[in-house]
A and B are shown apart, each in its own frame.
Chain A
């Protein structure tokens, strides 16, 4: 469609402003983390003092380890279940397929507080004490859809010809899975896994309702310390660290997903 040069420039300018606004708050916290001034006003001075204090502080470090543990366990479960679900929904037609599709999407389509309260009620009914496992189970449930989306998209795109060829050459189902399907899905699995890891790593709402009080993930630690004025420099540093740590896996995942750009 024909757009005047002015229109194109306006769109470019608008996009630039929006992207700038998306990053501004993150940059602002990063700036606060190396400021010598206290409080939320204009950040002044420059020092890594808060960073070195944070590295020595046990709270954020333990919380980081906990978050890494929960996110990897939830991702492992989600990778297996999400891949199986994607394979069922793209390679088979069966009664209730749309309902299953809806059920996979539901944990992220419903507000997090609903998922959280639901899991909490479920555990209470069953008499299960909240623990790392209860938290991982809840996280895995909403991570499935992330893996599912990535893998299902890739499987639709790949089509079935190579799998058929494998079967025609005498491979059984397991061999086809192992030698044909999984290698072709490698980048989709990596992307889905990284995004699901990131989602779990950052999650706080479902976590609030399914976490054992003594166990702190990184967001739970940030939340607890956000309102303590003496912790604020450390919170600034931890928050900046979370953003920086998140950027690498998400960037890698994006490059993997985006390997085949198209223009209609």
Chain B
């Protein structure tokens, strides 16, 4: 909980750095000099000693490979995306060619065409709706898991909630498409009503798909919340509702934000749910996908939109201390 970014400094000190370890240095130095007097120091030892004395060298040893991968592969790819988005695909007659002189035409088209604006608004609306639905479902479930259920049942529930996260995104979408089928699906036959394949059906499916992403961080946050705080609130006369609103909820904010990053981001970029439902509803992802093979620069330009939305979201989340919870 109160463990925001980088506040866990106590653990980040390595043996040979920081003032607290200064006392150790003469001792280890002593040992190694005694050893070197009896036998010649191997090259490996010498290298090790050289490295040990230089924290930055050790740091570059462990940080170098992952950082280079992320910079070259991922940041490189994002830069390529940005460059591609500045190009243009022009069709004259039957011939399509790409103009590589940079320009903002794709972005102009994005802003000026009402369809793209309404697609963006619709997608953000769906992302908010999915997040709110998941939050409403996740809070009681996570609370039950962390604070009411017995230890055995809690363990079982954590596993039960986590497993569907990893099992078949497509399988689940496919399963929901059979359930939602307006003519013969399960919901029509047994419940009598179905949201069908429109935006309602998409929101229900996406809320279902991402629900565990919301339950798990909230559960983790509640699990860390000391019971004594809740007892103190009760002792001071706080009823359940008041304790929940004034104690639990404020302390849960980072966990809720962490969960919402997933539900929001995953909805923002989803296109297979709508596609499998027959594309009656268009999200940003569907527009990107349908332009992907025909007009990659425009698809690239449109995918900058979810990036901007998510970067804004992440910056807000960082303010709430939620990134540590991911």
B144, B269, B288: the one contacting A14 at CB < 8 Å is B144
Residues of the A chain whose Cβ atoms lie less than 8 Å from the Cβ of B303: 113-114, 117-118
Check A109 against B171 for contact (C-beta < 8 Å): no
Interface residues on A, range: 35 or more
Residues of the A chain whose Cβ atoms lie less than 8 Å from the Cβ of B48: 172-174
Check B326 against A149 for contact (C-beta < 8 Å): yes
B167, B272, B284, B314: the one contacting A247 at CB < 8 Å is B167
In the bound complex, how far is the Cα of B306 from the Cα of A8, in angstroms?
40
Interface string of A167-198 (1 = CB under 8 A from B): 11010111000000000000000000001001
> Residue on B with the closest CB to A110?
B310
Residues of the B chain whose Cβ atoms lie less than 8 Å from the Cβ of A104: 66, 70
In the bound complex, how far is the Cα of B55 from the Cα of A47, in angstroms?
65
Check B268 against A239 for contact (C-beta < 8 Å): no
Check A124/B84 contact, CB under 8 A, given A18-B141, A22-B212, A172-B52: yes
Interface string of A2-41 (1 = CB under 8 A from B): 1110011001101100110111011011001000000111
Asked whether B28 is an interface residue with its Cβ less than 8 Å from the other chain, the reply is yes
Residues of the A chain whose Cβ atoms lie less than 8 Å from the Cβ of B66: 81-82, 84-85, 88, 104, 144
In the bound complex, how far is the Cα of B225 from the Cα of A234, in angstroms?
47
Residues of the B chain whose Cβ atoms lie less than 8 Å from the Cβ of A261: 151, 154-155
Chain B residues packing against A (C-beta within 8 Å): 5-6, 8-9, 11-16, 21, 24, 27-28, 31-32, 44-45, 48-49, 51-52, 55, 58-59, 61-63, 65-67, 69-70, 73-81, 83-84, 137, 140-141, 143-145, 147-149, 151, 154-155, 157-172, 174-179, 181, 184-186, 189, 208, 211-212, 223-228, 230-231, 233-234, 238-240, 243-244, 247-248, 261-262, 265-266, 268-272, 276, 284-285, 288-289, 292, 296, 299-300, 303, 306-307, 310, 314, 318, 323, 326
Residues of the A chain whose Cβ atoms lie less than 8 Å from the Cβ of B169: 202-204, 219
Residues of the A chain whose Cβ atoms lie less than 8 Å from the Cβ of B230: 1
B24, B59, B172: the one contacting A94 at CB < 8 Å is B59
Residues of the B chain whose Cβ atoms lie less than 8 Å from the Cβ of A8: 148
Q: Which of A106, A203, A208 has the most CB of B within 10 A?
A: A106
Closest beta carbon of chain A to B54's beta carbon, Å: 11
Selected A-B contacts with CB under 8 Å, 19 pairs: A1-B248, A19-B157, A22-B160, A25-B176, A41-B189, A92-B58, A111-B270, A114-B307, A119-B73, A124-B80, A124-B84, A126-B80, A137-B73, A141-B73, A149-B326, A160-B15, A226-B174, A240-B171, A262-B223
Check A29 against B51 for contact (C-beta < 8 Å): no
Check A113/B166 contact, CB under 8 A, given A11-B144, A25-B175, A94-B59: no
Residues of the B chain whose Cβ atoms lie less than 8 Å from the Cβ of A156: 8, 11
Asked whether A199 is an interface residue with its Cβ less than 8 Å from the other chain, the reply is yes
Residues of the A chain whose Cβ atoms lie less than 8 Å from the Cβ of B231: 1
Check A92/B179 contact, CB under 8 A, given A15-B140, A18-B211, A114-B306: no
Closest beta carbon of chain B to A225's beta carbon, Å: 10
Chain B at the A interface: SS class: helix
B55, B148, B271, B272: the one contacting A12 at CB < 8 Å is B148
In the bound complex, how far is the Cα of B240 from the Cα of A4, in angstroms?
9
Q: Told that A1-B230, A19-B157, A106-B74 touch, could you supply 15 new A-B pairs with CB distance under 8 A?
A: A15-B144, A22-B212, A26-B172, A92-B58, A93-B6, A98-B5, A103-B67, A117-B299, A120-B296, A121-B77, A126-B80, A141-B70, A246-B167, A247-B167, A254-B159
Check B164 against A23 for contact (C-beta < 8 Å): yes
In the bound complex, how far is the Cα of B223 from the Cα of A155, in angstroms?
20
Nearest 8 Cβ contacts at the A-B interface: A111-B269, A172-B48, A25-B175, A264-B226, A122-B77, A1-B230, A85-B66, A88-B63
